[in-house]
Structures are given as structure tokens and as C-alpha cells.
Amino acid sequence: MTAQPVLDFHVRLAPRPGAAARLLAALDGCGVARAVVCAGGTIDLDTLARQLVDGGHVETDADNDAVLAACAGTNGGTPANEGVAGGGNRLVPFWFGNPHRPPGAYRERAAEFRGLEVSPAVHGVALTDPRVAALVRVAADSGHPVYTVCLARPGAGVADLVTLARRFPGTDFVLGHSGIGNIDFHALALIRDVPNIALETSGGYTCVAEAAIDRLGAERVVFGSEYPLQHPAVELAKFTAIGTPPAQWRQIAWENAHRLLGEEKP
């Protein structure tokens, strides 16, 4: 599935020595040309796993500066919003918003980043909370897409994302990890009539990826891996397994992501 360029719409970069080099090696090994990068290491995985089941949150700030520095270093020091015509920079930085903080820092730095992530799983703030809406307002004003992962709990479900997306109809949202769990056909039904929500496919079963293409259309599906928690090769294999036609694969792997980023597709 890598005969044509691929943009991985969701990888993470922890502020650890050698993390950027390892990321680039993984991308190179799979033929992935570009990636959207958000901060990792905000929460240890044992705590995250417990919070996914039992609830809870951390108030830790993500290291957005480390992401920006790594992206700029990889891109030869070029600012994230000044990529080459039609292709853009290889690593594309997103701001990992912390709803426990006022949105002013994001607003002040928005021009340095290309999108926003909010995570009820990490920070424990519902998508229905005014603090999340305040961050999304900055994204809307900045022309940024919003990436989020939903949970099976009040205020953080896919239906709550639908409500948020309808409140900001001019902003693009990306539902990560194929919805909630591995086999969330219900998420596809909930977002089907909300055109400003796309589905990112990491983590979900092949049957969900195939159904998303069929029910939403390939133009609303984007490839992502959640590296380093999942290797890009595993996620690429899903689309090989379902025999995605080349024209649809180009949309999923390349064209849709560039549209979400506001870039002319190469």
C-alpha cells in the first residue's frame, strides 16, 4: 500500500533523546512520506490504561515545544506553516490542548502549529465542557482541524463529538482510533450525517475500516498509526488486507489529509 506517498495523520513524539530519529526511521521503513505529530509522554501508559477503564485524569501539560522543535529540526528549521508548495513539511506539528489551562497559550502560539488535539482520555475533560469549546474556538479562528479520541463515558462519546462538531460547522474534526474500541460501527452511524467529521483508522479492525469507506466514503477516511504505540506497518497492512482500490487509497493515505491541513495536494 506504499506505492504512492502516505501521510500518517496521527503519530506521537515523546520528549526523549532519540525519539525523532526513531520516528523518522519507522516512517522511512514503511515508505511514509509525512506525518502529523502530537506530543506523547504526557501520561504513562499504565495510568492511561487505568483511566480508560476507571476514569480519572491528569493535569499535566504536553511538551508542545519539544514537538515543534523536532518538527522544525526535521524540516530544516522551516516554520511549520511555510512548507514547500504542494508538499509541505515532512513533520506537521499539532498543539496538544490542556483544558485545565486557559486557551490563551494556544491562541498565542497557534500560528506555529497546524492543528489541535484534545483528549478526554488524558485530561479527563468532557467534550461537552466549555473549556474544550474554548480551545476549539481558537482552532476555528486559526483554521486548524481538531483531532480527538472518544470514550464510552458521559460527555466524551461520539454523540458528544457530533454535538461539538455541529456547534463549529466550519471546523474539521477527526475522530481517532476508528471510534470507541475495535469494532465501533455505531460511531460510523453517528457521524455519517456530520460532514465535518472524518474518521482516522488506527486501532480499529479491518471490518471497521472497510465499512467506513463504504458508509462514509473514502473522502472522509484518513490513515493514521498512533506510532509508537502501534507501528505504521501494522496499520498499512489493514488496507492491503481489505484490498483498498488505488484511487480510494490515494484519498485515504494522502489527499484527505492535505485537505484537512489546508494544503494543496501534491
pLDDT in tens, 199-250: 999 999 999 999 999 999 999 999 999 999 999 999 999 999 999 999 999 9
Nearest CA to 23 among 10, 41, 6, 11?
Answer: 11
Q: What angle do CA 96, 41, 149 make, to 5 degrees?
A: 50
Check whether 121 has a pLDDT greater than 70.
yes
Please state which of the ranges 17-26, 82-91, 117-126, 142-151 shows the lowest mean pLDDT. Answer: 82-91
Task: Go through 15-26 and write b for each residue having 16 or more CB atoms within 10 A of its CB, e for each that does not.
Answer: beeebbeebbeb
CA 89/CA 188 separation, integer angstroms: 31
Q: Are 99 and 131 in contact (CB under 8 A)?
A: yes
Whole-model pTM: value is 0.94
Across the chain, the runs of DSSP E, i.e. the strands, are: 7-13, 34-39, 91-93, 95-96, 116-118, 146-148, 173-175, 197-200, 221-222
Distance from C-alpha of 53 to C-alpha of 68, rounded to nearest angstrom: 31
Question: CB count, 10 Å around CB of 112?
Answer: 16
pLDDT per residue as tens digits for the range 33-83: 999 999 999 999 999 999 998 999 999 999 999 999 999 977 655 444 444
